[in-house]
């Protein structure tokens, strides 16, 4: 373990806190932009799904009717291909929609644990403890950036790279699927390694190679891996039943551009009704919208907290006083952030959701009224 201790003076912390105000302002404006974009995007997505459902035509996957050209359609059937995908190392796999070679390498990973202590006089002592562990990673970990490189050096490249391939010609009945839909067929199954010829791999890496469980191990001892050893797994997506909502374009499919302005192109694995697919898409849209709402609220709170950080640092000349002020500014940042988030969300909703918007404004006014009453009561109770 390596330890690094850095002390920041009170005056430097004050300077940094004023610089932080700039980032706080940027964060607040970014949060406001995200609120307006997210509400508009979520609404347009929901409207687009609803519009697509209203005009959706259920069609067979074969034969293709030219009368449905450029219409929003629903179809289902077996997604299949006659192509064979070939991995340059492990050979050919018949009728695979997708072929995936996943490679991980055993490497050193640096972990940093940071503790901060506020000292009398306003200075801040930051202690960083660096520890190292060995992990399997599918990306190169750059050990040149480690605080302690001695005995913690990783290889700079993998002898074998991960690789994903898709069949060029995937069909459902008489329809040829575009690549965007092909990529949505993502239900991989592991490839039986007993069928794999490992000789080409041995020749390429010039290391011992063995099949272990459902993986190919490149190294001397699978039960005691060394830095630089590889773990390779192979999987493929085989022909399977899918359900699709998209726009028919001759003998293929493309996204349907709804009047609300968003594209609709859905694929689910298995046999699903169009109603079920639209409901699932609406549920996903609501979840994403709420996640982004939470992110915008957090951005506002952090931004407002940064605006008040100089007050905390000034009070931190006495650590206990800084803690009290920090708690108070944190509470203010949360309260003001929540009020601003509610206001801006209500404004964003106003054009399309007037009743909900008015309701949110009412909630804000109630919160402000409660806070004002509490403050007034506190003032009245003072001798």
End-to-end CA distance of the chain: 58
Give the model's pLDDT for residue 381.
62
| pLDDT tens track, the chain, 383 positions | 788 888 878 788 888 888 989 999 999 999 999 999 998 899 899 999 999 999 999 999 999 999 999 999 999 999 999 999 999 888 888 889 999 999 999 999 999 999 888 777 778 888 999 999 999 999 999 999 999 988 999 999 999 999 999 999 999 999 999 999 999 999 999 988 877 888 888 888 888 999 888 899 999 888 899 999 999 999 999 999 999 999 999 999 999 999 999 999 999 999 999 999 999 999 999 999 999 999 999 999 999 999 998 888 888 777 777 778 888 888 999 999 998 998 888 788 776 666 666 666 677 677 767 766 776 666 666 55
3-state secondary structure of 204: helix
Give the model's pLDDT for residue 206.
87
Give the model's pLDDT for residue 344.
87
Give the containing element (helix H, strand E) for 343.
helix 319-350
- Left, alpha or beta for 56 (phi > 0: left; psi -120 to 50: alpha)? beta
Give the model's pLDDT for residue 9.
82
Angle at 185 between CA 179 and CA 187, to 5 degrees: 145
Give the model's pLDDT for residue 313.
82
Task: Report the alpha-carbon distance of residue 262 to residue 72 in Å, rounded.
Answer: 13
Give the model's pLDDT for residue 359.
67
For the chain, give every domain's residue range: 2-51+284-381, 56-272
pTM for the whole thing?
0.82
Give the model's pLDDT for residue 246.
97
Q: How many CB atoms lie within 10 A of CB 262?
A: 20
């Amino acid at each position: 373990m390596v330890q690094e201790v850095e002390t920041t003076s009170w005056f430097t912390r004050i300077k940094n806190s004023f610089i932080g105000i700039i980032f706080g302002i940027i964060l607040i404006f970014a949060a406001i932009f995200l609120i307006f974009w997210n509400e508009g995007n979520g609404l347009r997505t929901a409207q687009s799904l609803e519009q697509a459902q209203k005009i959706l035509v259920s069609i067979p996957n074969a034969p293709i009717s030219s009368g449905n050209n450029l219409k929003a359609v629903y179809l289902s059937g077996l997604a299949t291909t006659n192509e064979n995908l070939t991995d340059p190392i492990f050979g050919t796999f018949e009728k695979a929609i997708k072929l995936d070679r996943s490679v991980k390498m055993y490497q050193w990973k640096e972990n940093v644990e940071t503790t901060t202590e506020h000292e009398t006089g306003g200075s801040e002592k930051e202690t960083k403890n660096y520890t190292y562990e060995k992990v399997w990673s599918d990306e190169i970990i750059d050990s040149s950036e480690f605080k302690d490189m001695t005995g913690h050096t990783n290889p700079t490249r993998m002898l074998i790279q991960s690789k994903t391939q898709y069949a060029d010609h995937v069909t459902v009945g008489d329809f040829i699927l575009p690549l965007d839909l092909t990529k949505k067929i993502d239900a991989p199954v592991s490839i039986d390694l007993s069928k794999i010829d490992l000789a080409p791999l041995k020749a390429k890496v010039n290391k011992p190679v063995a099949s272990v469980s459902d993986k190919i191990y490149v190294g001397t001892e699978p039960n005691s891996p060394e830095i630089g050893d590889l773990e390779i797994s192979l999987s493929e997506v085989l022909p399977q039943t899918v359900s699709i909502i998209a726009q028919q374009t001759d003998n293929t499919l493309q996204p349907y551009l709804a009047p609300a302005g968003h594209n609709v192109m859905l694929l689910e694995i298995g046999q699903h009704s169009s109603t079920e697919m639209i409901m699932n898409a609406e549920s996903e849209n609501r979840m994403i919208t709420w996640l982004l709402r939470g992110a915008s609220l957090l951005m506002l709170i952090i931004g407002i907290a940064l605006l008040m950080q100089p007050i905390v640092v000034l009070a931190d000349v006495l650590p206990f006083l800084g803690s009290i002020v920090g708690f108070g500014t944190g509470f203010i940042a949360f309260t003001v952030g929540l009020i601003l988030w509610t206001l801006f969300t209500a404004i964003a909703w106003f054009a399309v959701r007037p009743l909900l918007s008015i309701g949110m404004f009412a909630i804000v006014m109630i919160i402000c009224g409660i806070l004002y009453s509490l403050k007034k009561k506190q003032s009245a109770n003072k001798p």
